[in-house]
Chain A
């Protein structure tokens, strides 16, 4: 990037609700043209962070600059430069696709002579051209999200803030939506997107993991995967609860994660521990069909990170 100053910069950004601290001392720089993912469990503060950056919530303490403007002092100037998409579907369901687009275009003061062309481009871009007269209420979940995205793009914002845009959308629409995001990013938009899906986090340039209001890790997906200690063994035992207890106690095992009936075991060396686990299972008459070595993904990395944080917290509380 030619531009070397961050497009979003926060310093110790904090927001309290009545009893909880939703965002706790967030310090973060996002560069122009970045595709930045915000991940973390429910209640980690992802939505609050995005709402703060969109100027929708007052800051309790700390500061932030968005597109060169101070967030606390010039929220209205920032609003013209960002596109924000809420997690919940928040368009007018009794208006048609075109009427929704026109409504937001007028509120964002899109010049009248450009209006028609921009709307047609966006409709084509979002694959909604043939549905332009349909009421928003009658669109599928995936199409509603694309319409919402089109509405946030109508004023050609420099920054896009997207709060879990693909939650509740079928896998095919999810993929389509991300292809659109990647395309937008390639054209130069800065995108900050929160997601509960780790495969989506993998498509970001950098990812920030939030936990209990704090940004605990912020790095590229490759670096985050490298945080994982050891190697991964995947197995599908019949009695996964008994197998979990047994394997967790074996030597060389760092961590056992469950994914439904699937167990992911992080070990110091897969070559050495895989036969040992097999023997241990046979000794205890635990039947297991598939057992194999696997490549760690973002998902294992995050679960492992959060487990470590929780462990650290319980230790400090114990002191």
Chain B
């Protein structure tokens, strides 16, 4: 290993990153832009769902119930209607996402504690908003019944102030159960796929532009060349590792409870694994479009579905779980979430670090093995 060769390749590659606009965008701006787009786009909190009400009861109880469900920011009262057809029209015209139908005996049944004649109609084409409406209305109906029961018990002279059902849910590390808090650390692991994509592209770029041919006739060693190309992207990746948690904290109020030093060191291990994977892609792909397509196929798409960012790995079929373990992103997503939220240390995360080192060594060995100093 010649240090002079390595330094020459690194310097050349850094100049390429800084001077080639497409590369600069891809490695420096794209991860940050994507982090914002994904974080805002995929995790919008549902609010102000328009709801129509059909009240057959017309009592003070039914009116106070309607008042109860439409106060606050969650559900908005769009209109009172008097027929089922009207609800249908409003749903098909996309004016409302849900409708509440209050039965004629609402007050009587409720006060007699015989149940609650209530129907909720939702727009099944948008299950997110519909499900949210069901949850909200159901929750408030339950609260109303609890109050009535408590009042009844109190009215019968029994000195009980407790409510019949009193469940306290305490979500650890993410008390408000906001989706972003859980997803953004996962997204950070995906955004670091961009430096890996760039490594794949830069090797294919050299092959396409013939510069590889000129490199191959020099005495530069394979390891010197491949490492020299990887190290600049490692540096860029680490810059992202510093900037992205800062953005997560400042913009999305994601807590960072663990040790930053540990996070930084484990990020180096992850970048080693994912950049080696990019290098392996670049070794095999003859052109940049081919390298791009394969990178998306094996770095980004599995990142969505298999690394557990959006879907828990434990709910995957056995085969997919095995495959997920070969993806560096799977392990790193666990590391980022662990360090960000519960703030766990190496005592918990070491198996994932070991897996990443193993994958990195395997990918680098494969890249060095298949990269020959020959054309064709």
Contact = CB atoms under 8 A, between A and B. Distances in A.
Interface of A: 17, 51, 54-58, 75-76, 79-80, 82, 84, 86, 88-95, 99, 102-104, 106-109, 148, 151
B81 interface: no
B213 A56 contact: yes
A200 to B, nearest CB: 22
B211 A107 contact: no
B16 A106 contact: no
Contacts, number: 76
A142 to B, nearest CB: 18
Contacts of A92: 12, 15-16, 211
A16 to B, nearest CB: 11
Nearest to A18: B376
Nearest to A82: B217
Interface stretch (B3-11, B134-142, B244-252, B292-300): B3-11
A224 B270 CA distance: 64
A75 B217 CA distance: 9
Interface in B326-376: 373-376
A90 B375 contact: no
Contacts of A80: 219
Contact of B210 (A17, A57, A79, A88): A88
A109 B2 contact: yes
Given A80-B219, A90-B214, 7 more contacts: A88-B210, A95-B15, A103-B8, A103-B11, A107-B219, A107-B220, A148-B214
Contacts of A106: 4-5, 7-8
10 contacts: A55-B373, A57-B376, A79-B217, A84-B214, A84-B217, A88-B210, A91-B211, A94-B19, A107-B8, A107-B219
A97 B350 CA distance: 48
A148 B210 CA distance: 12
B104 interface: no
A88 B15 CA distance: 22
A97 to B, nearest CB: 13
A57 B7 CA distance: 27
A56 B374 contact: yes
Interface string B1-41: 01011011001100110011000000000000000000000
Contact of A17 (B7, B211, B374, B376): B376
A82 B212 CA distance: 17
Contacts of B4: 106, 109
Given A57-B376, A107-B8, A86 B19 contact: no
A56 B220 contact: no
B375 A57 contact: yes
B217 A56 contact: yes
A103 B374 contact: no
A56 B218 contact: no
B216 interface: yes
Nearest to A75: B373
Contacts of B214: 84, 86, 90-91, 104, 148, 151
B213 A108 contact: no
B170 interface: no
Nearest to A84: B217
Contacts of A93: 209
B227 to A, nearest CB: 14
Contacts of A88: 209-210, 213
Interface residues of B, number: 27
Contacts of B218: 79, 104, 107-108
A79 B222 CA distance: 14
A16 B217 CA distance: 21
Contacts of B373: 55, 75-76
Contact of B374 (A57, A89, A94): A57
A55 B216 CA distance: 9
Given A56-B375, A57-B376, A89 B210 contact: yes
Interface string B119-132: 00000000000000
Contacts of B216: 56
A151 to B, nearest CB: 8
Contacts of B8: 102-103, 106-107
Nearest to B8: A106
B371 to A, nearest CB: 14
A108 B219 contact: yes
Contacts of B217: 54-56, 79, 82, 84
A15 to B, nearest CB: 9
Interface in B199-227: 209-220
A57 B216 CA distance: 10
A58 to B, nearest CB: 6
A92 B4 CA distance: 19
Contacts of B12: 92, 95, 99, 103
B263 to A, nearest CB: 34
B209 A109 contact: no
A51 B219 contact: no
Given A56-B216, A106-B8, A107-B219, A99 B15 contact: yes
B5 A94 contact: no
Contact of B16 (A51, A57, A94): A94
A55 B372 CA distance: 12
Contacts of B220: 107
Nearest to B215: A107
A56 B207 CA distance: 13
Q: Which of A17, A92, A102 has the most CB of B within 10 A?
A: A92
A103 B217 CA distance: 14
A46 to B, nearest CB: 15
Nearest to A110: B4
A79 B211 CA distance: 16
A54 B11 CA distance: 26
Contacts of B213: 56, 86, 88, 90
A93 B373 CA distance: 22
Nearest to A102: B8
A316 to B, nearest CB: 31
B210 A90 contact: yes
